[in-house]
Chain A
């Protein structure tokens, strides 16, 4: 019976991770107002409630705005950083790349607090923009790591070959480098988007009067009557995540197959 213990362990492990998530749709379609077994009956009322909630719609719109902006910004900055680190030698390179990665290990609450203090003291009003800046900051390390891997996998002479064949530095980058690091860019966008979408602390500190998805959900948890709707919302979010993941992985695999390249910066 060798391996049985391990099998039980892995089943328990998977249950621990996924069972709570599997409960989301169960209660989202349950007509009872209390989150408890036994289930009462089937209903789609919570979804209807969700669709009719103006604050929630606003929170979703805000979160999407923030997540898209922050992921695009972080990925652009990450491209600059990754390109510089992989292509050039300059003084202080090690220290600078270390400092770019550092926010990964900094407690987010510290980052959020110090950002709040600085923004208030220089008189910037809290808004979606401040959240976008904060989220760009915490997404940057991940974007840079992913993109550095992608850029590192490139043969440097590819770019030289394009230049040698008459292209300018810029068009060589556009025609050769960009298509080849595209899977890395997609990974970076996806990663940053996901981090930003469910980020709570910075959004809570820096959003001012605005509401984002996580801060909205947190604020609603105080009202037991809202919980079934939150369950419905959670179900939608899980489905959305699975869809995004599938799309990204499909796109990445297609890219890898087309260039025949080894894995380059794919995170998933």
Chain B
């Protein structure tokens, strides 16, 4: 999350009722979307949700079947990709293997009327910007994955596009490199001030990098929000499930009140859930559910003083991650309305050197109604 407030900026990309059909396949089903100037925007969703198609319609590689795409106030319908004020970083980077690094970066300047010396300087500036100063004469095919990524960035940014489109740019990198590039991309975006639109299936990547995120399923935008709002107040069970881990328990609504909804749920008993934590978009039938994130409740160590609400349970599984641990806990009384009690996942930050509780240990679970979300 980059924490820049971009809500007052002018719109850079506007999609109105965008549809895309491939034969019988309806890839985009009425996308309405405004991406603001200077924003780091992400399209997030599982594969096949239409996020890449949407990016490619913005780039101009795909014609749209219906609707309008505007960039900086201009209708793009009849503007081909090579004339749009957008540049793309491809998933495969698409580095031209027969050219040198400098020739790759300067590729888009071929039609630029400036003298060769100025262009060479621009190439060197662009390389310096991505941390590859002095790499100009290398053969492009001899670069590592991370370096190719940087060349692709420099090649796209040298044209000073209004929008930089990034199609899963980090998916080919190993984890360490990916995390490093995430931070560098954020810094780079802040430095150049260009609107970035990122396509990713990695929810963590979207949360880390974006000002705002559009979560897409089956050609539609399911929710568009900032990372924090998206994570803590998902609009539907599906969004909640896709973004991080969410525990779901069956619930029974007993009373609607002014400030919240009174529900009965196994394990927690009767709770009033504040209105801001009530999601009413729960089309997938299964009846009302109470959800909570693994970090919304906590396990108390033996002897640790109790505060707030306490429920009890037994540790079913311990999943150790080094800095933190997931505990799958069977909560007492969670064998609810249908007799099935799936364990819930609770995460705890590890304290260095302290022993972890074993499977089968009885534990106290501390929770508060503010950590629960009702999907009805």
B123 to chain A, nearest CB (A): 13
Determine whether B87 belongs to the interface, using a CB cutoff of 8 Å to chain A: yes
- By a CB distance below 8 angstroms, the chain A residues around B83 are 166
B94 close to A155 (CB less than 8 A) = yes
B82 close to A167 (CB less than 8 A) = yes
- By a CB distance below 8 angstroms, the chain B residues around A158 are 94, 96
Determine whether B1 belongs to the interface, using a CB cutoff of 8 Å to chain A: no
B42 to chain A, nearest CB (A): 20
Chain A proximity mask over B87-119: 1 for CB below 8 Å, otherwise 0: 110111010111000000001101100000000
Assembled-state Cα–Cα distance A160/B80 (Å): 12
A166 close to B108 (CB less than 8 A) = yes
For the complex, count residues of B whose C-beta is within 8 A of A.
25
B98 close to A259 (CB less than 8 A) = yes
List CB contacts (< 8 Å) of B151-189 with chain A: 155-156, 159
List CB contacts (< 8 Å) of A183-209 with chain B: none
Determine whether B141 belongs to the interface, using a CB cutoff of 8 Å to chain A: yes
Decide yes or no: A164 and B81 within 8 Å by CB, A157-B92, A260-B141 being known contacts.
yes
A184 to chain B, nearest CB (A): 13
B97 close to A164 (CB less than 8 A) = no
List CB contacts (< 8 Å) of B58-74 with chain A: 59, 61
- By a CB distance below 8 angstroms, the chain A residues around B90 are 157, 160-161
Assembled-state Cα–Cα distance A180/B61 (Å): 22
Residue of B nearest to A168 (CB): B82
Determine whether B142 belongs to the interface, using a CB cutoff of 8 Å to chain A: yes
List CB contacts (< 8 Å) of B192-225 with chain A: none
List CB contacts (< 8 Å) of A211-266 with chain B: 258-261
Residues of B within 8 A of A (CB): 59, 61, 81-83, 86-88, 90-92, 94, 96-98, 107-108, 110-111, 139, 141-142, 155-156, 159
Q: A161-B155, A162-B107 are in contact. List 20 more A-B contacts (CB 8 A).
A: A155-B92, A157-B90, A157-B94, A158-B96, A160-B94, A162-B96, A165-B87, A165-B107, A165-B108, A166-B83, A166-B108, A166-B110, A166-B159, A167-B110, A176-B96, A179-B98, A180-B97, A258-B98, A260-B141, A261-B141
